[in-house]
Amino acid sequence: GAVVSQHPSWVICKSGTSVKIECRSLDFQATTMFWYRQFPKQSLMLMATSNEGSKATYEQGVEKDKFLINHASLTLSTLTVTSAHPEDSSFYICSARGPGSSGPGSYNEQFFGPGTRLTVL
């Protein structure tokens, strides 16, 4: 249990276009989802935290107008990179956490998606 998927797994786009990345919890209700970016050979940096039905909380330095996050349902969150530029090229990883204290999707653990590699030309 506790599977998180991301789509697409990779995407190449032209500079100036927008790209949407989906994150889905397949077998549990994700009350909270997290979005990270990871540059090559570096660690994960939290971009934002989203709770279902409310606005995302962005980390300092992350442009909320550039990285639009929507968490409209308990199983889906989306990250839209607007007007993408080459410096936005990165590996984007989502994770999800459920409301329970144990079992699949429990509050005590984040379950990670497989990541989406974005390349902006």
Q: Which residues pair with 113 in a beta bridge?
A: none
Taking the complex as a whole, how short is the minimal distance between the CB of residue 16 and another protein, in angstroms? 26
CB of 113 to another protein, least distance (A): 5
Positions in the binding site for another protein (CB under 8 A): 4, 6, 32, 34, 41-46, 49, 91, 93, 95, 108-115, 117
DSSP state of 45: E
Enumerate the β-bridge partners of residue 50: 33
> Shortest distance, CB of residue 121 to another protein, whole angstroms?
19
Q: Taking the CA of residue 79 as centre, how many other CA atoms within 13 Å lie in the half-sphere pointing to its CB?
A: 33
